């Protein structure tokens, strides 16, 4: 279910490219629970995350939320269609982001074919990866899904304060369930199970430590 636009070692844009973009950007701040944009709203800007975590989701009729991805610093978010956002984005922690007005961005891209080509390449790569990831997840066990989810968080864990391998989970169990396609109960049970196995240690529901480093290698089998 990994669906962000970056992939750990591959930020969407290079440092120089982001600097170019910074010329047309402004800084925005959002509190916990703040909405960056809402599905269906007219799109006027896209964002590049500076700090914090964002949940991107879509509603499927009858209050059924699908969490498409979690976004971390350096991610680009706000993909749109026909001038409207296709997803909703909500801040899970206090968030700082660059805001890029669409009109200026389009002008910039139109006059910088190389920058645009890079966008194209990166986009196709990242989304292809996301698709692959989604398919992979669709055929693995609940345990493996949780491990992949933890691995995702681990890769983006930018707070190495305190013990290494400590991961903060700013989202709720429901968010994790809506992201992995499991039920809350299954998510909870598997956290407990991983703890019993000695793979992780739950400090509290929103903070855990990874004890068994090799869970990364173990992820593939399913």
Partner DNA sequence: CGTGGAGTTGAACGATGTCAATCTTAGTGG
Partner DNA sequence: CCACTAAGATTGACATCGTTCAACTCCACG
Stretch that binds DNA, among 71-79, 87-95, 118-126, 203-211 (CB under 7 A): 203-211
Conformational region of residue 198, where left means phi above 0, alpha means psi within -120 to 50, and beta covers everything else: left
- Distance CA(176)–CA(170), nearest Å, equals 10
Contact criterion met (CB below 8 Å) for 4 and 75:
yes
Nearest to 151 by CA among 213, 104, 108: 213
Question: Could you tell me the smallest distance in angstroms from the CB atom of residue 188 to DNA?
Answer: 3
Residues 167-196 close enough to bind DNA by CB under 7 A? 172-174, 181-189, 191-192
DSSP 94: -
Nearer to DNA, 73 or 181 (CB): 181
73 contact choice in a copy of itself, DNA, none (CB below 5 to 8 Å, kind-dependent): none
The residue ranges that bind a copy of itself (CB under 8 A) are 1, 3, 58, 60-61, 66, 68, 79, 81, 86, 106, 109-111, 113-114, 116-117, 119-120, 123-125, 127-128, 130-132, 134-139, 181, 220
206 binds, among DNA, a copy of itself, none (CB under 5 to 8 A by kind): DNA
Neighbours of 6 (CB within 10 A): 23
Q: How far is CA 98 from CA 23, 36, 82, 214, in A?
A: 11, 11, 22, 36
Q: Which is nearer to DNA, 62 or 114 (CB)?
A: 62
Tokens of 139: 């055929």
By the criterion CB under 7 A, which residues form the site for DNA?
141-143, 172-174, 181-189, 191-192, 202, 204-206
């Amino acid at each position: 279910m990994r669906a962000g636009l970056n992939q750990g070692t591959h930020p969407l844009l290079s440092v120089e490219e982001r600097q170019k973009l910074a010329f047309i950007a402004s800084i925005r701040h959002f509190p916990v629970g703040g909405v960056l944009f809402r599905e269906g709203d007219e799109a006027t800007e896209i964002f590049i995350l500076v700090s914090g975590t964002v949940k991107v989701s879509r509603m499927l009729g009858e209050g059924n939320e699908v969490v498409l991805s979690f976004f971390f610093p350096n991610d680009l978010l706000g993909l749109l269609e026909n001038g409207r956002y296709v997803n909703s984005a909500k801040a899970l922690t206090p968030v700082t982001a660059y805001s890029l007005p669409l009109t200026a961005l389009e002008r910039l891209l139109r006059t910088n074919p190389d920058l645009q080509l890079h966008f194209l390449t990166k986009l196709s790569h990242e989304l292809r990866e996301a698709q692959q990831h989604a398919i992979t997840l669709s055929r693995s066990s609940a345990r493996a899904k949780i491990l992949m989810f933890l691995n995702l968080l681990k890769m983006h864990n930018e707070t190495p304060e305190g013990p290494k391998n400590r991961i903060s989970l700013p989202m709720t169990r429901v968010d994790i369930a809506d992201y992995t396609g499991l039920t809350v109960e299954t998510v909870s049970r598997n956290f407990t199970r991983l703890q019993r196995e000695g793979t992780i240690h739950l400090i509290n529901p929103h903070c855990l430590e990874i004890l068994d480093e090799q869970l990364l290698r173990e992820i593939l089998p399913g």
